[in-house]
């Protein structure tokens, strides 16, 4: 099983030799991609699973949970644009339905989209299985409905990635995502930006410390938090100066 999971998640990582990003010469103009296969048995991310996305030393992948939020998500997208970084956004179905324009804007600006449940329950594992199944299905359906009128290039940014709220799953829930052909995508680390009252300077210090300890990884962020947004540009600049390169998680297509 170990070998199958690793083979299923083999990544194609483009070399960091692209033209420089304006204003950020240590960053490439376009984020290199790491393509991850979706499907049964693909469960990735050190927070929850034994395996993670195979990143090289000093490679980082940004992921954002719990959106979209038109105002705050837009601010995050502007910061990412300035650094020529493309990320992966895990969106909540009811928020998708509440702000479809924000969803389409994420895709239009080159970011990948995965599902993150429909109502973001505290623990999907604590729900009756029928309700948990509905959380998966309704989140996927909401994304499909919102994106069905988007340009084909934007529609192609929908992935078969699913992230459980709070990374809490169960064998039954993993069987459900496997049956639907979804990759269960955890992350490698975060720095508590889901806590609203941690000031920006503290979040910045935590992010630098944890990144320097790990040297690579899939990072968990939340695009609704103004304190995270307040330090994000500064953080990306500091990480680029320390030799880190940002890659985008995409779905490997046949």
Residues of the chain with pLDDT under 70: 1-18
* Per-residue pLDDT at 17: 52
- Prediction pTM value: 0.92
Cβ atoms within 10 Å of 144's Cβ, excluding its own:
13
CA 59, distance to chain mean position in Å, is 15
Beta strand ranges found along 106-204 (DSSP E): 112-115, 158-162, 183-185, 189-190
How far CA 73 is from CA of 95, 101, 175, in Å, comes to 12, 11, 32
Strands 20-21 and 24-28: antiparallel
* Per-residue pLDDT at 175: 98
How far CA 117 is from CA of 53, 133, 162, 233, 250, in Å, comes to 21, 10, 8, 28, 19
Most distant pair of Cα atoms in the chain: their distance: 51
* Per-residue pLDDT at 153: 96
* Per-residue pLDDT at 172: 98
Structure tokens at 229: 């947004």
Q: Are 63 and 249 in contact (CB under 8 A)?
A: yes
* Per-residue pLDDT at 70: 82
Domains and CATH numbers, the chain: 36-251 (3.20.20.370)
* Per-residue pLDDT at 6: 38
* Per-residue pLDDT at 87: 98
Q: Which residue has the tokens 């199944």?
A: 133
Say how many CA atoms lie within 13 Å of 202 toward its Cβ.
Answer: 8
């Amino acid at each position: 099983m170990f070998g199958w999971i690793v083979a299923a998640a083999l990544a194609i990582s483009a070399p960091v030799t692209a033209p420089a990003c304006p204003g950020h010469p240590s960053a490439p103009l376009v984020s290199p991609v790491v393509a991850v296969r979706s499907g049964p048995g693909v469960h990735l991310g050190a927070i929850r699973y034994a395996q993670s996305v195979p990143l090289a030393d000093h490679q980082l992948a940004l992921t954002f949970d719990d959106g979209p939020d038109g105002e705050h998500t837009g601010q995050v997208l502007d910061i990412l644009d300035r650094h020529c970084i493309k990320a992966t956004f895990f969106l909540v179905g009811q928020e998708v339905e509440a702000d479809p324009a924000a969803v389409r804007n994420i895709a239009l600006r080159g970011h990948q989209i995965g599902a993150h449940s429909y109502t973001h329950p505290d623990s999907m594992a604590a729900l009756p299985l029928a309700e948990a199944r509905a959380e998966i299905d309704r989140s996927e359906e909401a994304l499909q409905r919102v994106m069905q009128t988007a340009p084909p290039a934007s529609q192609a940014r929908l992935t078969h990635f699913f992230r459980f709220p709070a990374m809490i799953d169960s064998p039954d829930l993993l069987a459900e995502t496997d049956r639907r052909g979804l990759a269960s995508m955890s992350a490698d680390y975060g720095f508590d930006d889901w806590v609203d009252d941690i000031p920006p300077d503290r979040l910045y210090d935590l992010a630098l410390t944890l990144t320097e300890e790990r040297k690579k990884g899939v990072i968990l962020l939340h695009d609704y938090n103004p304190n995270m947004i307040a330090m994000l540009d500064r953080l990306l600049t500091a990480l680029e100066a320390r030799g880190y390169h940002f890659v985008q998680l995409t779905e490997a297509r046949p």
